[in-house]
Amino acid sequence: MAVSIHLILKDDGVSQIMRTCDVHGRDGSIKLRNLLLGGIIPTDPLTGDGSHFRHYA
């Protein structure tokens, strides 16, 4: 079973911005429903070798 992701936001004064989550240990956090993470490994068009740079979106 996957573990839910909880986001905790803080303002400039380092005070937590409270939200409605009531999960024990994660009080006031925001439960994320979706997370999209992408990665691209560029390759040389002539040789097909991967370059040393990675791009993440």
The per-residue pLDDT for 1 is 60
The per-residue pLDDT for 11 is 85
- Domain extents in the chain: 1-34
Identify whether the C-beta of residue 32 lies closer than 8 Å to the C-beta of residue 4. yes
The per-residue pLDDT for 55 is 58
Q: Model's pTM, two decimal places?
A: 0.43
Question: How far is 27 from 17, CA to CA, in rounded Å?
Answer: 11
pLDDT tens digit at each of 57 positions of the chain: 677 788 888 888 888 888 777 777 777 888 888 887 777 777 877 888 877 666 565
Question: How far is 21 from 31, CA to CA, in rounded Å?
Answer: 7
